[in-house]
Amino acid sequence: MSSKPQKHLYEEIVYVLRGNGTTTVWNEGQKPLTFEWKRGSMFSPPINTWHQHFNGSGAEPVRYVALTNAPAVFNMFHSHEFIMDNPFRFKERFDGDTEFFSGKGTSRPGLVWESNFIPDIVNLNLHEFSVKGPGLRQVEMELSSNTLSSHLNDSPVGVYKKAHRHGPGAYIIVLGGRGYTLMWREGQKWQRFDWGAGSMMSPPNRWFHQHFNLGRENIRQLALKGWGQKFPIGGWEQMFKSTETGGDMIEFEDEDPAIREMYVEELKKEGLELKNLPVTYRKHA
């Protein structure tokens, strides 16, 4: 089984949840390139190239999740023909390079791994990212010269992250572990959402959100999002800057003490202890 050949004037990031297969990519008049993928693979057909997906199994279906910026593109041009049947070739983004989907990549500043195809994100090297919480590790993934990007992070047992906020368009997939997330609009009471492996969530625009590990294994989360570091759209630096200095991240010292108190009680129910360092509150002492 295969999908129909398609091309479009919007970006797309594909993450394979289940199954294996191949994808063929080509431009008019060029030799097609084919690469194999499996569960855990991530790739991005270059913008406006023809591409077609093939299921490698004769018995099991393939399931993948994809993020696109199609809504923004359609809202901008209001033309199905222009977006879905445009002959323009973005040669600077893809011109038939036979190594394009080799799986090779380059490490960039900002914890970035830049590539076009990641055979298995589980094998990516994660970097220390304690700005969000103790023991956290993360890697940012930039694919096919897109504005869209993704990141993968890992959070230890007994640890919760600092709350932060950003614009819309981030979709978080829980790959492993279990816990809960608090979300709230500034000035309002938080709401709690429990999750486990296979859950997916998307914080609303400019809502604070904060993740808590409740299990006996690290939590691993994949986020597909509408912005990255290679082609930033603004606000990146603010996400990891304290709200006390005009940023969008709440330091542990500035959060409501009830947040930590609730987490400690939840950990006790699981027979676990808090691993975050002690804190002296600045606002709520």
Mean pLDDT of 153-165: 97
DSSP string, 137-202: EEEEEEETT-S-EEEEEEE-TT-BPPEE---S-EEEEEEE--EEEEEE-TTS--EEEEE-TT-EE-
Distances (CA, A) of 229 to 135, 148, 236: 23, 10, 8
Kindly state the tokens that stand for 24.
């063929």
Report which secondary-structure segment, H or E, holds 118.
Answer: strand 117-118
What does the pLDDT read at residue 1?
85
pLDDT beyond 80 at 116: yes
pLDDT in tens, 222-246: 999 999 988 887 777 788 899 999 9
Mean pLDDT of 2-18: 96
pLDDT in tens, 76-103: 999 999 999 999 999 999 999 999 999 9
Query: Mean of the per-residue pLDDT values for the chain?
Result: 95
pLDDT beyond 60 at 248: yes
Q: How confident is the model at residue 130 (pLDDT cuts 50, 70, 90)?
A: very high
pLDDT beyond 50 at 285: no
Structural domains in the chain plus CATH codes: 12-84 (2.60.120.10), 105-269 (2.60.120.10)
Q: Tell me the pairing of strands 137-143 and 112-115.
A: parallel
